[in-house]
Amino acid sequence: MLADGTLMGTNKLVSQILDAGHLGYTNLMADAGSEHLSDLLEMAHTAGKAIAERTLNGRVLIGADARESGETILSILESSLRAEGCGVVSMGTQNTTPSIEFLADHYGMDCGVSITGSHLPAGQNRIKVRFYAPHEGRDITDPLTDYLTEATADLPTSLGGTRIAIDCLHGTSARTMLPLLSHMGISIERDVHLLHGRPDACFPLLVSNAPDPTLYDNLAELCNQVEFSSLDFGFAIDGDGDRFIIVDDEGKIIDPVIAGLLFGSRIFSPEKYAYVTESKVQFAHATMLSYGMEPVFMPTGRPNIIKELVRLGARGAFEISGHIYDSRGYDDAAKNIAHLIAYCKTQGAVLSEVAADIQKRLPSYSPEIRCSCPDKERILAIVKDIGAGTLGGYLLSEGCSATDAHHSGMFVRASKNEDMLTIMLWGPTREDMEQYKDNSLQLIGDREFTQAFNKEYHHRQQLRERYFRV
Answer whether residue 86 shows pLDDT above 80: yes
- 335 to 100, 231, 299, 362: CA distances (angstroms): 14, 20, 25, 27
Q: What is the mean pLDDT of residues 448-457?
A: 93
Give the per-residue pLDDT at 383: 81
- Short-list 319, 324, 300, CA closest to 401: 300
- Average pLDDT score over residue span 186-213: 94
Higher pLDDT, 35 or 116: 116
Look up the pTM and report it: 0.90
Question: Which ranges constitute the DSSP H helices of 92-210?
Answer: 97-106, 143-151, 174-183, 188-191
The tens digit of pLDDT for each residue in 5-24 reads: 333 343 444 445 443 333 34
pLDDT tens for residues 226-268?
999 999 999 999 999 999 999 999 999 999 999 999 999 999 8
Which domains, from first to last, does the chain contain? 10-146 (3.40.120.10), 150-251 (3.40.120.10), 256-361 (3.40.120.10), 364-467 (3.30.310.50)
Evaluate if residue 193 carries a pLDDT over 80: yes
Name the packing angle between helices 333-347 and 174-183 (round to 10°): 30
Q: How many Cβ atoms sit within 10 Å of the Cβ of residue 383?
A: 24
Q: What is the 3-state secondary structure (H, E, C) of 74-119?
A: HHHHHHHHHHCCCEEEECCCCCCHHHHHHHHHHCCCCEEEEECCCC
- Cα first-last separation, the chain: 41
Q: Tell me phi and psi for residue 433, to 5 degrees.
A: -60, -45
Distance CA 318, CA 246 (A): 14
| Cβ pair 27, 302 in contact under 8 A | yes
Amino acid at 170: H
In this predicted structure, which of 13-27, 211-225, 273-287, 397-411 has the lowest mean pLDDT? Answer: 13-27
- Collect all residues with Cβ–Cβ distance below 8 Å to 93 and sequence separation of at least 6: 63, 64, 65, 66, 70, 71, 74
- Pick from 17, 469, 19: which is nearest to 248 by CA? 469
Across 334-459, the runs of DSSP E, i.e. the strands, are: 364-365, 369-372, 400-403, 409-414, 420-427
Nearest to 59 by CA among 95, 109, 16, 17: 109
Between 117 and 91, the higher pLDDT residue: 91
The pairing of strands 316-318 and 59-64 is unpaired
Spatial distance between the Cα atoms of 127 and 150, rounded to a whole number of angstroms: 25
Written in H, E and C, the secondary structure of 22-63 is CCEEEEEEEECCHHHHHHHHHHHHHHHHHHHHHCCCCEEEEE
Predicted pLDDT at 298 = 87
Q: Is 313 exposed, middle or buried (0-12, 13-18, 19+ CB in 10 A)?
A: exposed
